């Protein structure tokens, strides 16, 4: 499912990716790093923090793609601007795969219109990886076709109708 979302987000071999997800406790960063390596991308395992160093790496290594939270991406952009750098002109970053927190419509619009980024927002869990994505904006997400995903009523286990609140159920078929 991770590879599927990276493909949807336009990540390809030769990509220079800064991975700002954590590599400890809930090892999202490690899982994404592993899949990106199989795709043929080069991964910079950055985590969150030390914005000055991350900005330098993004510039020096010509980072083309970002994975992490939308708020940290905006923090990096704002920090670069505080340093007097024109983000859209100086940086090679052209795509972002964001997750782990909400992506408000105004923030997506800022990324797209002001900074020229193609943004994919993904929903997932630590146990299963990404389950759904959004490339167009707005709140609705598309479920990945490679998974069996059901939204069920928490008390009855029965499927809910479109637009109803329920629990996400995903069979793993693992022993």
Q: Which residue has the tokens 């030390």?
A: 50
Q: Is the dihedral of CA 96, 138, 146, 160 positive or negative?
A: positive
Q: Is the dihedral of CA 132, 4, 22, 96 positive or negative?
A: negative
110-133: pLDDT as tens digits: 999 999 999 999 998 877 889 999
- CB neighbour list of residue 86: distance below 8 Å, 6 or more residues apart: none
Spell out the long-range contacts of 143-152 with Cβ–Cβ below 8 A and sequence spacing 24 or more: 144/1, 144/4, 144/5, 146/1, 146/4, 147/1
pTM of the model: 0.90
Q: Is the dihedral of CA 22, 25, 27, 30 positive or negative?
A: positive
Higher pLDDT, 174 or 111: 111
pLDDT for residue 85: 97
Q: Give yes or no for a contact between 103 and 66, defined as CB atoms under 8 angstroms apart.
A: no
* Percent of the residues in the chain that have a pLDDT greater than 90, as a whole number: 70
* Percent of the residues in the chain that have a pLDDT greater than 70, as a whole number: 98
- The two counts, helices (H) then strands (E), for the chain are 7, 9
Bridge pairing between strands 129-134 and 142-143: antiparallel
With CA atoms as reference, report the closest residue to 152 among 131, 169, 140, 170. 169
Give the whole-angstrom CA distance, residue 14 versus residue 115.
Answer: 22
């Amino acid at each position: 499912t991770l590879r599927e979302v990276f493909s949807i987000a336009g990540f390809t071999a030769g990509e220079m990716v800064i991975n700002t997800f954590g590599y400890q406790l809930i090892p999202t960063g490690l899982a994404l790093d592993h899949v990106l390596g199989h795709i043929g991308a080069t991964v910079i395992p950055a985590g969150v923090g030390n914005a000055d160093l991350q900005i330098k790496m993004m510039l020096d290594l010509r980072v083309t793609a970002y994975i992490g939270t939308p708020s940290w991406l905006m923090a990096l952009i704002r920090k670069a601007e505080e340093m007097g750098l024109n983000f859209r002109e100086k940086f090679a970053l052209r795509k972002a795969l964001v997750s782990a927190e909400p992506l408000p419509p105004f923030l997506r619009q800022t990324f797209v219109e002001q900074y020229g980024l193609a943004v994919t927002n993904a929903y997932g869990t630590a146990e299963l990886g990404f389950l759904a994505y959004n490339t167009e904006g707005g709140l609705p997400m598309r479920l990945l076709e490679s998974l069996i995903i059901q939204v069920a009523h928490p008390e009855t286990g029965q499927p809910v109708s479109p637009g109803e609140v329920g629990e996400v159920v995903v069979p793993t078929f693992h022993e």
